[in-house]
Amino acid sequence: MLPRILEPEIMDSPNDAQDYDAMDHSVVNQRFVADFLQVWNGRSPILDVGTGTAQIPIEFCRQSPSGTIIAIDLAQSMIDLGWKNVRCAGLEDRIELRRVNARSTGFAEASFPAIMSNSIIHHIPEPIEVFREMLRLASPGATLFVRDLMRPRDLAELEHLVQTYAGDANAHQRQLFRDSLHAALTVAEVQELVGHWGFAADSVRPTSDRHWTWSAVCPGEPST
């Protein structure tokens, strides 16, 4: 198995934000939202952790006629471009963006009935800190849905994934994807992390050739 090599925690240059936003994530985003909706308890606001340029919240609103989202990211360049995307989509009434550190959000405990996150975990040097914060914020009965890249077994597999999914991208975009794969966790590593809070190993599973997903319900009875 490849060793984990960290990438920058914050992609906060305008070039990073623009190149990330320009990559075609549409199929991945559509599937993420469709899969989230299969398990969502229907309650909101939904917290989107590591929203980037708000592509996931916008796709959520396309697929679901109900639900509001508070979307957070630490990179101001991502938030700025995210607001532009939200305004262009006419979704200011359903999506709110905030510049917030996912490891220490400042939100009240148990304040969100649903939490989702796509592709932030590989950016975090100590991922347990983000899982701990998400669980602190989740109210009893909350939907928890986290998906991220899965670290390949070797360099040959890594380069195959880069060529397959970013072969038509520019050199900077390919390097961003390459670095993200190298910084990603394995399924076993995520299973060990969520196991600290008693979640079953089978709540984490591979869901594509390059993604893992953790889907669970926060313990306790939801308030009425």
pLDDT in tens, 49-107: 999 999 999 999 999 999 999 999 999 999 999 999 999 999 999 999 999 999 999 99
Average pLDDT for the chain: 93
Phi-psi region for residue 113, left (φ > 0), alpha (ψ -120 to 50) or beta?
alpha
Q: Which residue type occupies 28?
A: V
| CB 90, CB 84: distance < 8 Å | no
Task: Tell me how far apart the alpha carbons of residues 112 and 122 are, in angstroms, rounded to a whole number.
Answer: 23
Query: Would you state the pLDDT for residue 223?
Result: 66
Pairing status of strand 204-206 against strand 211-217: antiparallel
Query: Would you state the pLDDT for residue 172?
Result: 86
Structural domains in the chain, sorted by start: 14-217 (3.40.50.150)
Per-residue pLDDT of 138-176, as tens digits, reads: 999 999 999 999 999 999 999 999 999 999 989 988 998
Query: Would you state the pLDDT for residue 12?
Result: 61
